C-alpha cells in the first residue's frame, strides 16, 4: 500500500466526466461563430489546458477570435454545461474513504474559480476538500503554477508523500515541477501513451485501480 498524506486532484477527467457539458459548450461556440468543424475531434484536445491556449493551438484562433470564442464558450458553460457532467463511478466512495483515513484532500484545476466552486458544490465534492485552486481572472495559469499556489497557501512541503492525481500531461508536468509524486489516470481525457511517456510515479487505468493504489 502506498502512503500519501496529501492528495491533490485534478477536476475534469479525474473526479468528474465533464465531456458532455464541454462538448455542448464547444458546439454553441462554433455555431455562434459560424464555423463548421468536427467538434468530436476537437474537444479532447481542449480539455486540460486553459481554454485560451486550446483555441490558439488547436483551432489556430487569433487574439480577437480567442476573446470571442472564450466568451461564447463560457456563455453556455456557465448556464448549462457546468451541470451536464457526471461523477466517475465510485469517486465519492473513494474520497470518503480517504478522508476517513485522515488524508488531506485538495483540488487544483485550470477551470475558472467561479466555475470550479459551482461544480464542487453541485457534486458535493467540496465536503471532502481542505482547499481548492482554480484559475483567476486574467493572466496565464499553468497547472504547475496553480499547484504551487495551492501548496504555498496550505504550507504543504514538497514530498513523495504529496501526490498530484490527474489525467493529462499538464498534471504530470505540474506535479513534477513542484517536486511531488505524480499519479496519472488513464480513464480521463489524456492519451495513455503520452502520459506513460512522461514517467509518472504511478499510472492507473480505472477508478478501481486508483482506489486500490490509494486505499
Note the helical H segments in the chain.
19-32, 39-46, 51-59, 63-79, 91-100, 113-122, 143-153, 169-177, 192-197, 207-214
116-128 pLDDT per residue, tens: 999 999 999 999 9
Q: Which of 83, 103, 138 is where one domain is finished? A: 83
Domain membership flag for residue 1 = no
- Judge if 152 and 208 occupy the same domain: yes
Pairing of strands 131-135, 104-112: parallel
- The mean predicted confidence, pLDDT, of the chain is 92
- Judge if 184 and 91 occupy the same domain: yes
Domain membership flag for residue 141 = yes
Within 10 angstroms of residue 141's Cβ, the number of other Cβ atoms is 22
- Judge if 90 and 183 occupy the same domain: yes
- Judge if 167 and 198 occupy the same domain: yes
CATH of the domain at 161: 3.40.50.1000
- What number is the average pLDDT over the span 204-212? 96
41: pLDDT strictly greater than 70: no
* Lowest-confidence segment of 49-53, 73-77, 183-187 by average pLDDT: 49-53
Specify whether the CB–CB gap between 143 and 108 falls below 8 A: yes
Domain membership flag for residue 30 = yes
pLDDT band at 211 (very low <50, low <70, confident <90, very high): very high
CA-wise closest residue to 106 among 187, 192, 176, 180:
180
- Judge if 98 and 139 occupy the same domain: yes
Specify whether the CB–CB gap between 207 and 91 falls below 8 A: yes
Domain that holds residue 132: 6-17+86-214
170: pLDDT strictly greater than 60: yes
pTM of the model: 0.89
CATH of the domain at 74: 1.10.150.240
pLDDT band at 50 (very low <50, low <70, confident <90, very high): confident
Looking at the 3D structure of the chain, how many domains does it have?
A: 2
- Judge if 202 and 132 occupy the same domain: yes
Amino acid at each position: 500500500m502506498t502512503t500519501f498524506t496529501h492528495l491533490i486532484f485534478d477536476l475534469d477527467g479525474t473526479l468528474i466526466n465533464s465531456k458532455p457539458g464541454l462538448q455542448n459548450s464547444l458546439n454553441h461556440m462554433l455555431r455562434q461563430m459560424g464555423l463548421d468543424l468536427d467538434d468530436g475531434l476537437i474537444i479532447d484536445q481542449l480539455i486540460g489546458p486553459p481554454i485560451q491556449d486550446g483555441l490558439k493551438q488547436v483551432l489556430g484562433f487569433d487574439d480577437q477570435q480567442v476573446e470571442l470564442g472564450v466568451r461564447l464558450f463560457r456563455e453556455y458553460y456557465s448556464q448549462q454545461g457546468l451541470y451536464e457532467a457526471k461523477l466517475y463511478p465510485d469517486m465519492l466512495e473513494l474520497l470518503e474513504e480517504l478522508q476517513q483515513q485522515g488524508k488531506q484532500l485538495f483540488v487544483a484545476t485550470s477551470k475558472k474559480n467561479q466555475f470550479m466552486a459551482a461544480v464542487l458544490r453541485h457534486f458535493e465534492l467540496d465536503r471532502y476538500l481542505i482547499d481548492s485552486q482554480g484559475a483567476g481572472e486574467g493572466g496565464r495559469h499553468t497547472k504547475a503554477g496553480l499547484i504551487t499556489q495551492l501548496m504555498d497557501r496550505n504550507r504543504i512541503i514538497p514530498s513523495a508523500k504529496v501526490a498530484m492525481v490527474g489525467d493529462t500531461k499538464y498534471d504530470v508536468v505540474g506535479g513534477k515541477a513542484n517536486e511531488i509524486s505524480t499519479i496519472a489516470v488513464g480513464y480521463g481525457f489524456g492519451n495513455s501513451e503520452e502520459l506513460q511517456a512522461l514517467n509518472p510515479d504511478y499510472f492507473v487505468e480505472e477508478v478501481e485501480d486508483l482506489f486500490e493504489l490509494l486505499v
